[in-house]
Structure 1
């Protein structure tokens, strides 16, 4: 019988929030008798907690006023990758200060979710787009 860990990370996991709305009694039973879960349930819970922590740390890092959207780079490299960060920096320090940059950013935010859906649905699209985005990252990092 394993007792529930105390929350020492300073946040409530999304899993715990969902459990509270789903089954308050389950939380009480877990607290009194320990948590009983299968290996698959444990792995899924741990994966969810890791993802929640990553999201929490990213939100702290960027704050609520910073626009962290970078859909295509996030899909290709991950939300915390240096390439994604370089593209965000380029947007925030260069593009945002130009009229045509604002137009580009608006068009990007309009089109990129559809591009990400294509990348997810058709893996070969990733192999077509990634070399181009790699090239952009190289250009941006030289000028940054």
Structure 2
């Protein structure tokens, strides 16, 4: 049994404007377009869906990671690894969410200290590097 589409592609919508009989025929008898045309249409639909998911994902991602951002930078691999670990491991558990909430309450106040004190930043970097190794961050 053929699975029904849950959405209409732009190709479907434009097709109804030009020839609604073709749309009905394709629905009843199957798509008669050449394979190359169907492949290009599928690739276009995939790109639209990928773009939509990427936009939704970026909106949903919590970019906060104050200390790692101060030490490594906002888009560093280490910072992104820690964010992903937070979202994957800490956030699903109540204890993890409490830890994250406490971290967000305390860490913004520590960032100016890390920016002023090279010694403090070096110590925190060493601690974060050890944590990243413990968590299995690939090198």
TM-score, structure 2 normalization: 0.55
Query: SS of the counterpart of 2:75?
Result: coil
Pair 142,126 (structure 1): closer, same or farther in 2 beyond 3 Å? closer
8 Å Cα contact 1:72-1:115 kept in structure 2:
yes
- For 1:61 and 1:78, the matched residues in 2 are separated by 24
Aligned counterpart for 1:117 among listed residues 105, 112, 119: 112
8 Å Cα contact 2:67-2:111 kept in structure 1:
yes
- For 1:61 and 1:68, the matched residues in 2 are separated by 14
Q: Which runs of 5+ in 2 are unaligned?
A: 1-54
1:140 aligns with 2:131: no
Aligned length: 84
Q: CA deviation at 1:62?
A: 5.6
Query: SS of the counterpart of 1:64?
Result: helix
Aligned counterpart for 1:89 among listed residues 77, 84, 87: 84
8 Å Cα contact 1:62-1:68 kept in structure 2:
no
8 Å Cα contact 2:65-2:79 kept in structure 1:
yes
Supply the RMSD in Å over aligned alpha carbons.
2.0
1:65 aligns with 2:60: yes
Q: CA deviation at 1:61?
A: 9.5
Q: CA deviation at 1:64?
A: 2.0
- For 2:84 and 2:119, the matched residues in 1 are separated by 28
Pair 135,62 (structure 1): closer, same or farther in 2 beyond 3 Å? farther
8 Å Cα contact 1:77-1:84 kept in structure 2:
yes
8 Å Cα contact 2:69-2:79 kept in structure 1:
yes
8 Å Cα contact 2:81-2:137 kept in structure 1:
no
Runs of 4+ with deviation above 4 angstroms: none
Q: Which runs of 5+ in 1 are unaligned?
A: 1-59
